[in-house]
Chains A and B, each alone.
Chain A
Amino acid sequence: MTTAKNLRSVPLARRLLSATWITVGLAVVVTLLVSLRYPIILVNSLVTGGMWALMAAGLALVFGVMNIPNFAHGEFFMVGTLVAYYVFTPIHKMLLKNPSPLLSVVAPFAGILLAGVVGAVVGLTIEFLLFRQLRRRSKEQWVMNTFLLTAGLSVILINGTQLIWGTEFKGIPRYWEVRPLVLLGVSLSVDRVVVFGIALVTILAFWLFMRRSSLGRAMRAVAQDEVGAQLMGIDLNLVHMLTLGLSSALAALSGASLLFMFPSYPTVGLKPLYVAWYVVILAGLGNVEGAIAGGFIVALLQTLTSYFIGVGWEDVVPTALIILILLFKPSGLFGSEVKGIWEQ
């Protein structure tokens, strides 16, 4: 296995020829070439890519810090769409009666932000009610058990939502009633531009939080070595709650931001869940920064597939490619420590 240490001793030319950089380089070249003729592909992959990056970063964070492979991550996305819908629609209706330019600009942001907050609260509650109880009882086969636990959780959240809010599609055509922008010859709705902006700002804030704040440092410490972190006086319970809260807030935020593309529906989280998992497996389990880059790569793959091969194939082709890549590089593109069974 190539660790970070002996990777540094490899000369630059060899390093650039590694599977990682070949893939990343190819992705960039393909994007540039394609976007010369079909700028829409670039635009679409950037917009969805930003949100996939948020989803995947949350998923990778929870795996990295808490060792939980979260199968219910898509349900936080669903919670986000639901909250945004129920915040935005009444305000929108009110605005139709008595228009107010300021409120119509701010209202979507309020919905999206509130979705993030509710997502965080749901995440905290789940950590407290579920994972802490299991952690207290047994840590044997933790990864597999929590995976199954989240599978059960996903069933409950999907069907609980269906029981309470029904199965009809709750969507909106757009957040902002503004004429679309024209960029690179592509007509582009303002929603997409703003959503891309939200993704960039959130990624930056998240990165700063993880790198610069003391809580972020504590989280990284727990990810590296739980016992060591505890010995340094880090409150594990706090870090765990914070991690799941942050991760579900990110997922809910991306759900709320994409409400105009994904109308709220009990199983709306399924597709984002697959995608987040594609990304995380591609980037390497638990690798947060890799997940952000991977989000854009997978979005590009999907857009290319649905544009050139056909809608409906955008799950098949990326999956096949990911399986292929992993044959050569089982630890993921960015080489985090996914160990084979030969090296426990």
Chain B
Amino acid sequence: MNRNELVGVEAARPARFRWGEWPVRVGLLALLVALPFIPPFNREDMLRWLIGAALIAAQAIAFDFTAGYINVVNFGFAAFVGLGGYTSTLLAVRLGLSPWLGMFAGAAVAALVGFFTGALTLRLRGIFAAVMAWFVGLALLGLTRNLTDLTRGALGLNAPTLLATADNRPYYFIIVAMMVLTYLALWRVIRSHIGLAFRAIGQNLDAARASGVDPTRYRVINFTLSCAFAGWLGGFYAHYYGILTPDVMATSHTVEVLAVAYIGGRGSLWGGALVAFPFIFFVEWMRTNLVELPGLHLVIYGLLLILVMVYYPGGLAELIRWAGRRLRRLER
């Protein structure tokens, strides 16, 4: 029990800026940039996997921002992603707005809906907020399915692509840049005094309130920001794949992001991003090579999520922190 509590405190502390970690980060980023030129990964199908992985990674960062810090699981996350995608696509199709601007419009709309959802539900306990966000997601899904005049329903919309080329590599660099931006922006917030309030609320609500932190206000700020990034990434989804169906909003997509974020380690931001790459590769590999066993990759998903939740709640981030501590001790 005691150890667990200590781990919890450790996990909730944001990454402090240490020069010792800097080479690792730059190295990882350099690896990400170089990856599409290294042989097995420069094939077109591998590049598509890489893009999918980076997209999931970026979503996991935005998801962990609420789940890991203020302890509210946004169960309608995929719906906010889809909302951003649909907004951007509709603006592009109907009004001819450039997808680059449309992505930000999508972020704004997702943030607006997120703000109202949060303002209504975040007064309540975590589970209530999670379930209500889920309902809002289901309602959005139902709306996109049924407003066929606007969204063509289940037929889906053809979204204009961001770039004129069919080459995957530029898209990869765009999504990696978006992922890094998402991380840096949210990390900056976590490091600020607002982030301090988030962590206080996530760890002990009563103590936070006693110290004069207004929980509802900070939770709404957090939720809105996370939804804004979800919408922004949804814009990329739409303008990369070029086809948008109501299915993007399905709860199963939320669960996918959630699983990656939690396996990566809650309250770390980078954990989910780190897990996403090997994980999505593994999943896609299974999907293409074990065609006769459809759904096996999802079973493994669920199993991993459960195992991490029960036996190692800190996830991969905690494992890496532990290894880092051991290494530093060895150096001394």
Contacts and interface: CB of A to CB of B under 8 A. Distances in A.
Interface of A: 69, 130, 133-134, 137-138, 140-141, 143-145, 147-149, 151-156, 158-160, 162-163, 167, 266, 270, 274, 277-278, 281, 285, 310, 312-313, 315-316, 319-320, 322-323, 326-327, 330, 338-342, 344
Interface pairs A-B: 10 shortest CB-CB: A159-B295, A155-B302, A156-B302, A152-B305, A316-B142, A159-B298, A152-B302, A319-B139, A152-B306, A162-B295
Residue among A137, A159, A160, A270 facing the most chain B CB atoms (10 A cut-off) = A159
Interface stretch (B41-49, B54-62, B156-164, B255-263): B255-263
B131 A323 contact: no
B145 A312 contact: yes
A315 B71 CA distance: 27
Interface string B249-288: 0011001001100100000000000000000000000000
16 contacts: A137-B311, A138-B4, A144-B126, A147-B127, A156-B306, A159-B298, A160-B295, A162-B295, A163-B295, A312-B142, A316-B143, A319-B138, A323-B132, A330-B124, A338-B128, A344-B206
A64 B215 CA distance: 26
Residue among A140, A144, A266, A277 facing the most chain B CB atoms (10 A cut-off) = A144
Interface of B: 1, 4-5, 8, 71, 73, 120, 122-128, 130-132, 134-136, 138-139, 141-143, 145-146, 205-206, 215-216, 251-252, 255, 258-259, 262, 293-296, 298-299, 301-303, 305-306, 309-311, 313
A163 B296 contact: yes
Contacts of A144: 71, 73, 126-127, 130
Nearest to B72: A144
A155 B298 contact: yes
Nearest to A164: B295
Contact of B131 (A69, A340, A342): A69
A319 to B, nearest CB: 4
Contacts of A151: 255, 258, 305
A137 B313 CA distance: 10
B258 A316 contact: no
Contacts, number: 147
Contacts of A143: 125-127
Contacts of B141: 315
A152 B135 contact: no
Contacts of B310: 130, 133-134, 137, 149
Nearest to A281: B131
Contact of B146 (A130, A134, A313, A340): A313
A339 B124 CA distance: 7
Contacts of A281: 128, 131-132, 135
Contact of B4 (A140, A153, A313): A140
Given A130-B306, A152-B309, A315-B139, A277 B146 contact: no
Nearest to B304: A152
Contacts of A134: 309-310
Nearest to B251: A270
Contacts of A316: 139, 142-143, 146
Given A162-B294, A322-B135, 5 more contacts: A148-B73, A148-B258, A155-B299, A281-B128, A312-B145
Contacts of B4: 137-138, 140
Given A144-B126, A312-B145, A163 B215 contact: no
Given A140-B4, A149-B306, A313 B262 contact: no
Contacts of B124: 330, 338-341
B123 A156 contact: no
Residue among B127, B141, B303, B306 facing the most chain A CB atoms (10 A cut-off) = B306
Given A143-B127, A339-B125, A148 B305 contact: yes
B135 A310 contact: no
Given A148-B258, A148-B262, A330-B124, A341 B145 contact: no
A313 B302 contact: no
A277 to B, nearest CB: 6
A221 to B, nearest CB: 23
Contacts of B131: 69, 277, 281
A322 B295 CA distance: 34
Contact of A145 (B295, B309, B311): B309
Given A152-B306, A340-B123, A159 B130 contact: no
Nearest to A145: B309
B215 A159 contact: no
Nearest to A141: B71
A163 B293 contact: yes
A173 B216 CA distance: 51
B108 to A, nearest CB: 22
Given A140-B4, A155-B299, A315-B142, A323 B128 contact: no
